[in-house]
Structure 1
Amino acid sequence: MRAALLSGIHQALRITDLDTLKQEGDSCLVDVHYCSLNHRDYWISIGQYAGLKFPVILGSDVCGSYDFKSVIINPGTGWGPDHKAQSALYKILGLPENGGLAEQVLTRPDRLHLKPAHLTDLEAAALPLAGLTAFRALVVKAKPQRNESVLITGIGGGVALFAMQFAIALGLKVYVTSSSDEKLNRAISMGASGGFNYKSADWQKAVQSEAGLMDIIIDGAGGEDFGKLVKVAAPGGRIVSYGATRGSWNGLQVQSVFWKQLSIFGSTMGSDEDFSNMIQMVNDYKIVPVVDRVFPLDQINEAMQYMAAGSQFGKIVIDLRS
């Protein structure tokens, strides 16, 4: 089978012919049709991830076929019995175990879910990791109520877009941030109520004057702007952090956190129950993942570079059948 193999830090992924996988024990063998990329894949490739091992086949998001059915894979295993947080045994497909950037992948039968019927295989491959992360951050952690306001940072990324789509479906007033006016306009065309360019020095003042204070903030950036999020949070508001693409929090005024009675939650991935509920929500509201570009497996390194540049609006998907 063909696979994209990562042999070390800062190395190009190499298209390699490997032996066909064999189903063993309680595992099942999925023929991969499409695999979408996540920033996790890039962080692993540059050594910014725990538990590195090489060689490895990356790729956490898979849609393929098993037993003549189109399936997607829950990329997480070993969450454990506590719904509040994952166990020390929690793992994600694509490291340490080989992932979906190959023509076949081994997984467990209880990781398989039928592809939502309204989605193509291509669209469904964009769903698992980002959809799960967004669902837990918004629905499980923030516990939104209809007509509440929510600010979602970094629109254009997979998690942020799913959070926006879920929030719109739940009847929230959705606002977004980006460094790109084009991305802001696209989000508004999809149903967001407004957008703010965080390259503007006083963007948080524009949020307050044009949209008011936010009941919920979903953030995957962190960095120097996190303190500004506290300023635009409503009294009693909830801030959910699911990532730190811009580094550690800076400029955070702790006094504002306790004086405004804010709740700050950390969130990553999700439990098996979260995954099932996320799929149910996608089915109920007929949510369609946003796909930015599709690359053949032979162009995996171009796809990784494109993702690293951060210009995409939606998911980047690798076609394993071309």
Structure 2
Amino acid sequence: MEAAVMREYGGPSVLGLEQRPDPAPRTGWATVRLQASALNWHDVLVRRGTYKSPLPHVPGADGAGVRLDTGEPVMILPSLGWGHRQAAPGPDWQILGDFTPGTYAELVSVPEECLFPRPGGYDALQAAAFPLVGVTAYRALFTRGRLTAGESVLVLGAGGGLAPAAVAMGAALGASMFVTSSSEDKIQRARTLGAVDGVLHFAPDWVEQARTASPSGEGFDVVVDAVGRWQESLACLRPGGRLVVLGASAKTEQLVDARQFYFGQYEIIGTTMGSPADFASLLAFANDYRLPPPVIERSFSLSDAAEAHAWLEAGQGFGKIVLTVDA
């Protein structure tokens, strides 16, 4: 099979198209002939060596295609070995493409519990772009964040794949969704998905702007922080509000004023991708609330994986970037 392979850690140029052995059969696993593979920021961290993936390595977490043994169109949940406890993943949990060869390839092998039917109305690109950001946003908002209709949510960073998914889900439920962004254009695009409004997060007073824009004028019920700006995020909450954190691209270590935290009665809730049970609940939610397919910003061929990574790192787009696989 052909695959985009990294033989060293580094920039986008370390990705190159190569011939690789087809996946070997494994009990409890199935092989998928991929039609599309979606990029995530997690893939960039894999490429840079953050997770010390084995080399040479095929990255890629998200994908959609056809299951070889049944011919069924499927999409892949890249959450491997979650375990029996729903509160948090077990010790064997990993993300597809970290240590197990991923979806930047014509073929990929995954546990059968991680394969789900493609939703009606989704093409291969949309199905490939749905699982990681979809289940991550769903778990952040509902499983962990306990969001209910009528509450207000601020999502930091409107341009990535996660924020559009979170905005669409929260708006579908009946929550008031707000975003931060680096551009007015991305805020406007978030409005088309159901966001009420947004603020520019490079403004020195953006926290005050956000609190003023909140429905109560005293802050949000929930803030979803996928970048690692805890101090500002906590300041955007109403008293008793919930901060859901799931990323650290801006800062990996956080300093929190303890008195501010406990007098404010805040919660800081950690979350990560999600379990097969979370994903099954997401699919039911998507059907019940007629959730629109993910926003596809741009597609590249598998042979142009390096160019796709460069585009992702430039951070100018809105929505998902997808590789098409012509097997």
Query: Structure 1 residues 200 and 305 mapped into 2: Cα distance closer, same or farther (>3 Å)?
Result: same
1:12-31 paired onto structure 2 within 5 Å: 12-31=14-33
What count of residue pairs does the alignment treat as equivalent?
319
Distance 1:203 1:189, change over 3 A: same
Q: Percent identity of the aligned residues?
A: 33
Q: Which of the residues 293, 298, 301 maps onto 2:298?
A: 293
2:288 corresponds, among 266, 280, 284, to: 284
TM-score by length of 2: 0.94
Q: Is 1:52 aligned to residue 53 of structure 2?
A: yes
Letter in 1 for 2:53: L
Partner letter of residue 319 of structure 1?
T
CA distance in 1, matches of 2:234, 2:253: 11
Structure 1 length normalisation: TM-score?
Answer: 0.95
Residue of 264, 271, 279 corresponding to 1:275: 279
CA distance in 2, matches of 1:52, 1:121: 27
| Alignment match, 1:305 | 310
Deviation string, structure 1 residues 226-273 (Cα, Å, up to 9, x no partner) = 212212201110000010110135553322211110111010011221
User: Structure 1 residue 52: deviation in Å?
Assistant: 2.2
Deviations 1:63-113 (A, max 9, x none): 000122210111112111211111111011112110111001112222210
Opposite residue 215 of structure 1, the aligned amino acid is: D
Asked if residue 88 in structure 1 is aligned to residue 94 in structure 2, the reply is: no
CA–CA separation in structure 2 for the residues paired with 1:24 and 1:43: 28
2: CA distance, partners of 1:6 / 1:70: 28
Deviation at 1:4, TM superposition (A): 0.4
Shift of 1:27: 2.4
Aligned pair 1:232/2:232, yes or no?
no
The separation in 2 between residues aligned to 1:24 and 1:229, in whole angstroms, is 45
Do the aligned partners of 1:231 and 1:256 also contact (CA within 8 Å) in 2? no
The aligned residue for residue 75 of structure 1 is 78
Distance 2:316 2:7 in 1: 27
Question: Structure 1 residues 271 and 192, CA, compared in 2 at 3 Å: closer, same or farther?
Answer: same
Contact kept? 1:230, 1:256, Cα under 8 Å: no
Q: Does the CA-based 8 Å contact 2:102-2:108 persist in structure 1?
A: yes
1:275-320 Cα distance to aligned partner (Å, 9 max, x none) = 1111221222222111110000111100001111111210100000
Q: What is the alpha-carbon distance in structure 2 between the residues aligned to residue 286 and residue 62 of structure 1? A: 22
Instruction: Give the aligned partner of residue 221 of structure 1.
Output: 227
**By how many angstroms is 1:136 displaced?**
0.7
Aligned-partner SS, 1:57:
coil
Counterpart position of 2:37:
35
- Provide closer, same or farther for how the CA distance between residues 228 and 262 of structure 1 changes in structure 2, counting only shifts above 3 A: same
For residue 178 of structure 1, the aligned residue among 171, 178, 181 is 181
Q: Give the SS at the match of 2:135.
A: helix
Residue 101 (structure 1) aligns with: 104
- Cα distance in 1 for residues equivalent to 2:193 and 2:114: 31
- Partner Cα separation in structure 1 for residue 253 and residue 287 of structure 2: 36
Paired residues of 2:210 and 2:236 also in contact (CA < 8 A) = yes
Residues of 2 paired with 1:143 and 1:251: CA distance?
25
Q: 2:82 touches 2:92 (CA, 8 Å); kept in 1? A: yes
SS class of match (1:305) = helix
SS in 1 for 2:32: strand
Aligned-residue RMSD, C-alpha: 1.4
